[in-house]
């Protein structure tokens, strides 16, 4: 991918944080690479080259700056939004697919040969899948070295390295320090054993209140909860379970992770970033939506509104099916009955799951209840598919749809993972009886991350449109929404808030 030198240099000279993660600055005279906002003295033009990824800079022989930590920059909004093969590959690499399945597994998921995939990624990102995964492993290892008391040998394998020697060589090459030296410079340990605390970078502004309000209205016992300015939820990860607490700050989202297996650190971080839409470019989104006089006021009043996405595609699809033509409160009650059915089927005896449905306000304090303190995530597709009919607690038609959805996801017929082909996922979903355009679109927006979904038949969207003086009939609203491309998902959230 070609980078415009003048545009990049101006961003570096002005230390523009908006470009962090979009490209990386390599300085020949120092042998380091930085994020554009690095506070160091701006290097001379003749000493600078620009790279589209940290892996590309590492491949060219540069090490990460210790001051600005470019490997911890937010992800590129381009790869986050794009639905093509490269965008899908980047999301799958972020989720740890190369570490678990190798480059062949990544290529198979995307439907290409390893050679062709390597060629595409190198052309766009300056590095192939192995180099991109290696850069991620190095960042994961640095986090574990600096935030845990795990043995260095354990960290090497937990980060995805094949040997301790490979681990040591990579850390020296990327950070110019051995793992032992990195650990010597970490802050004094004092955290809780088994807990990893880290900061997730994002591009300002971030309207955290809108995310928390949206999620608080939809919390489920044993799955997630909101406490003031903190969102907690359980995680189902490739090597086990975990949980996370997320609290937004001005420049960072503070994350506290509890993992059953530390090999799941990279996919857990990727899913948390996806959940809070942290790789979005809010200035680009708000700039486009703010051109519409009907949205100008709400954009100016609440800059940085994001789309609350998902850590579990199947969970989001079930939520969408249950939420068809019912209120948020009604959907929440039905989902609680479903979770109770899963609990009863497994003889778990989850007290929180069988109690009365709490309001968003009362759920804020639920973490103080020992019965609600353990968050394990949503049941798997196979667990739902195996339930008896009476465990669903809902009408027969909806039960049949959820059962068919669970079977399709469990068998791999429907792919709702972050690297799924969006168009194919929507088409496959609509092949399931009981799933139409609204449900499939909602899943595409929140589970697969499509930034340009619009649900013109959605009642709350039409109410929001009317409140803003926009046409509120589906056809007229859909026509007007064409002005909001390619950010119609974000416009939809604005309409929901206006309703």
From the candidates 8, 22, 34, 65, give the one annotated as an active-site residue: 34
Instruction: Map tokens 């340990």 to a residue.
Output: 189
From the candidates 279, 450, 458, 472, give the one annotated as an active-site residue: 458
What is the SS3 string spanning the chain? CCCCHHHHHHHHHCCCHHHECCEEEEECCCCEEECCCCCCCCCCHHHEEEECCHHHHHHCCCEECCCCCHHHCCCCHHHHHCCCHHHHHHHHHHCCHHHHHHHHHHHHHHCCCHHHHHHHHHHHHCCCHHHHHHHHHHHHHHHHHHHCCCCHHHHHHHCCCCCHHHHHHHHHHHHCCCHHHHHHCCCCCCCCCCEEEEEEECCCCCCHHHHHHHHHCCCCCCCEEEECCEEEEEEEECCEEEEEEEEECCCEEEEEEEECCHHHHHHHHHHHHHHCCCCCCHHHHHHHHCCCHHHHHHHHHCCCCCCCCCCCHHHHHHHHHHCCCCCHHHHHHHHHHHHHHHHHHCCCCCHHHHCCCCCHHHHCCHHHCHHHCCCCCCCCHHHHHCCCHHHCCCCHHHHHHHHHHHHHHHHCCCCCCCCCCHHHHHHHHHCCCCCCHHHHHHHHHHCCCCCCCCCCCCHHHHHHHHHCCCCCCHHHHHHHHHHHCCCHHHHHHHHHHHC
Per the omega criterion (within 30 degrees of 0), is the bond before 486 cis? Answer: yes
To the query of whether residue 34 is one of the catalytic residues in this protein, the response is: yes
To the query of whether residue 458 is one of the catalytic residues in this protein, the response is: yes
User: Annotated active-site positions, please?
Assistant: 34, 458
């Amino acid at each position: 991918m070609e980078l415009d030198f003048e545009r990049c240099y101006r961003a570096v000279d002005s230390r523009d944080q908006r470009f962090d993660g979009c490209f990386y600055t390599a300085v020949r005279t120092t042998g380091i690479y930085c994020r554009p906002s690095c506070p160091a003295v701006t290097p001379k033009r003749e000493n600078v080259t620009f790279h589209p990824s940290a892996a590309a800079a590492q491949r060219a022989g540069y090490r990460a700056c210790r001051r600005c930590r470019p490997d911890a920059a937010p992800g590129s909004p381009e790869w986050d939004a794009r639905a093509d093969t490269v965008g899908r590959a980047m999301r799958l690499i972020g989720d740890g697919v190369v570490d678990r399945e190798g480059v062949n597994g990544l290529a198979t998921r995307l439907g290409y040969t390893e050679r062709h995939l390597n060629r595409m990624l190198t052309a766009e990102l300056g590095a192939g899948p192995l180099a991109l995964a290696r850069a991620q492993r190095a960042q994961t290892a640095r986090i574990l070295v600096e935030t845990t008391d795990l043995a260095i040998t354990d960290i090497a394998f937990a980060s995805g390295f094949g040997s301790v020697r490979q681990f040591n060589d990579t850390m020296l090459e990327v950070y110019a320090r051995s793992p032992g030296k990195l650990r010597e410079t970490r802050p004094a340990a004092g955290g809780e054993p088994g807990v990893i605390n880290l900061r997730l970078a994002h591009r300002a502004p971030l309207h955290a209140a809108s995310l928390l309000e949206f999620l608080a209205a939809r919390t489920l016992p044993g799955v997630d909860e909101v406490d003031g300015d903190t969102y907690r939820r359980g995680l189902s990860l490739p090597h086990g379970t975990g949980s996370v607490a997320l609290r937004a700050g001005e420049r960072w989202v503070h994350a506290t992770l509890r993992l059953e297996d530390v090999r799941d650190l990279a996919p857990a971080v990727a899913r948390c970033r996806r959940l809070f839409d942290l790789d979005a470019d809010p200035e680009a989104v708000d700039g486009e939506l703010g051109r519409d006089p009907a949205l100008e006021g709400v954009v100016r009043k609440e800059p940085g509104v994001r789309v609350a996405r998902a850590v579990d595609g199947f969970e989001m699809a079930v939520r969408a099916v249950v939420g068809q033509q019912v209120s948020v409160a009604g959907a929440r009650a039905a989902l609680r009955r479903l979770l109770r059915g899963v609990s009863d089927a497994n003889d778990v005896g989850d007290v929180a799951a069988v109690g009365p449905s709490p309001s968003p306000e009362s759920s804020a304090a639920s973490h103080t209840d020992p019965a609600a303190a353990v968050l394990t995530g949503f049941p798997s597709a196979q667990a739902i598919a195996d339930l008896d009919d009476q465990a669903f607690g809902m009408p027969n038609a909806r039960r049949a749809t959820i059962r068919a959805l669970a079977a399709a996801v469990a068998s791999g017929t429907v792919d709702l993972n972050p690297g799924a082909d969006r168009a194919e996922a929507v088409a496959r979903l609509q092949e399931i009886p009981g799933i139409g355009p609204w449900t499939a679109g909602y899943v595409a927006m929140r589970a697969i991350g499509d930034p340009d979904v619009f649900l013109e038949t959605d009642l709350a969207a039409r109410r929001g449109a009317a409140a803003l003086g926009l046409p509120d009939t589906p056809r007229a609203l859909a026509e007007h929404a064409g002005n909001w491309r390619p950010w119609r998902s974000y416009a939809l959230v604005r309409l929901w808030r206006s309703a």
